[in-house]
Structure 1
Amino acid sequence: MGAVAIIPARGGSKRIPGKNLKLFNGLPMIAWSIRAARAAGCFARVVVSTDSPAIAEVALAEGAEVPFMRPAALADDYTSTLAVVCHALEQLPSAELACCLYATAPLVQPRYLREGLSTLQAHPGSAYAFSVCSFGFPVQRALVLNGAGAVQAMYPEFRNTRSQDLPTAYQDAGQFYWGRREAWLGGEVIFSAASRPVVLPRHLVQDIDTDEDWLRAEWLHRALLASGQGLP
């Protein structure tokens, strides 16, 4: 089978109810991830792992496959993404490479999905390749509030270090994670030296956990569509 996209999408969502099916710029949220995966042209199959018949119906309408329904034991608030991917791979024995693509990644671009695959293939000793982006400000200069509500440096040793002299720090972009079958099933740690980065520009990255996040992501997405960079 080669490479397969696995899109986890359970029916429950606490912070934004029904998030995977909520309309995002005119389409159910999950539709954007499915369309990006299909447009990438690097997947033998695009599979949605869900416990929800409603999500399964939308996924099928968008051209994805739902060859199995996820058991309830893997659809609660405490189930890890790793467990969901491993369950899917157990149902897909011929998948050699799997890309876990979040259903809530409407800004994902097909070209970066392809880059993730080529990055992993170019480094046979690596287990994963996943999306990251740089922090907009040196994390070493971060501030926190102490118990009295006053400001203090999180890393006081860097208080007088010029920002240009500090190394760039990166964060998980929360879009996709390419991995080898044996790495997923073996439970290898993703955030380690076994992984390679796919660096995204910050304007393509937005967590969507609150209503404010949702609004900002829609604005970014509309801008991409207007510039010709987004999916139709």
Structure 2
Amino acid sequence: MSAIAIIPARGGSKRIPRKNLKLFHGEPMIARSIRLALDSGLFERVIVSTDDEEIAALARARGAQVPFMRPAALADDFTGTAAVIAHALEASQQAGYVFEHACCLSATAPLLQVRFLRQGLELLEAHAEKSFAFSVCEFGFPVQRALTLGQDGALTPLYPEHRQTRSQDLPRAFQDAGQFYWGRSAAWLRGDVLFSEKSLPVILPRHLVQDIDTDEDWRRAEYLYSALLAGGELQP
């Protein structure tokens, strides 16, 4: 087994400015992901893909490698994660580094635990026909019973056909937990679709998941982190 961790971290975060460098419980957010990847023992190489010199300097100081600066064309608001990972793998191969597996590790996943990261790799290794394994969690309420706002501001069911369906009769639904995405390097490079039948789920408890896109998300993540530390479910 050979694996590389790739942490995407562009400098132009809009909703939370400089999110990757912002202090989370006294430590720059991206530093937590770097430390977890290095301490996990799962990776031969941990690199950060960034277009930002300050992020690059911090990443190097914390033990990650920044062998290239991400081109501007891959650092805008529209470039998908898969393109960033493929670029990093291509750059690594050109430098003589070839890996069987590549893990896209979020720079903003302070609740991530090594046990789930390891589970993702083991799951992918056990299913040679699959391309990816990534973190998900179950929705807390059936998505088929979701409501939306009409043009007049009134509530309407998003799925009217399930207006009267009992919750227990609806299939379970899962959301992307946004913590990590294991993939075969060949799958990343040929552009396999991540959200498809080619992927396997690493199902996380909902209380260990918090996406961080807004200030409210950030506060909630801090509350969860403190509670999990106090309860012994998370290591500092």
**Letter of the structure 2 residue corresponding to residue 11 of structure 1:** G
1:143 shift after superposition: 1.1
Report the equivalent of 2:80. Answer: 80
CA distances 1:160-210 after superposition (whole Å, capped 9, x unpaired): 221111111001111111011111011110000000000011111112111
Asked whether 1:196 is paired with 2:219, we answer no
Does the 8 A contact of 1:98 with 1:181 survive in 2? Answer: yes
Long gaps (5+) in structure 2: none
Asked whether 1:224 is paired with 2:228, we answer yes
1:142 shift after superposition: 0.9
Q: Secondary structure at the match of 2:51?
A: coil
**Letter of the structure 1 residue corresponding to residue 135 of structure 2:** S
Q: How does 1:10-25 map to 2 (within 5 A)?
A: 10-25=10-25
Counterpart Cα distance in 1 of 2:57 and 2:66: 9
Report the equivalent of 1:179. Answer: 183
1:107 shift after superposition: 1.1
Q: 2:124 aligns with which of 95, 120, 128?
A: 120
Counterpart Cα distance in 1 of 2:222 and 2:39: 20
Q: Percent identity?
A: 68
Counterpart Cα distance in 1 of 2:72 and 2:154: 46
1:148 shift after superposition: 2.1
Report the equivalent of 2:140. Answer: 136
Asked whether 1:159 is paired with 2:169, we answer no
Does the 8 A contact of 1:35 with 1:231 survive in 2? Answer: no
Long gaps (5+) in structure 1: none
Does the 8 A contact of 1:36 with 1:231 survive in 2? Answer: no
What RMSD in Å do the two structures reach over aligned CA positions?
Answer: 1.3
Q: Secondary structure at the match of 1:83?
A: helix
Q: How does 1:208-223 map to 2 (within 5 A)?
A: 208-223=212-227
- TM-score (norm: length of structure 1): 0.96
Report the equivalent of 2:89. Answer: 89
CA distances 1:2-29 after superposition (whole Å, capped 9, x unpaired): 1110000111111111000000111001
Q: Secondary structure at the match of 1:47?
A: strand
**Letter of the structure 1 residue corresponding to residue 54 of structure 2:** A
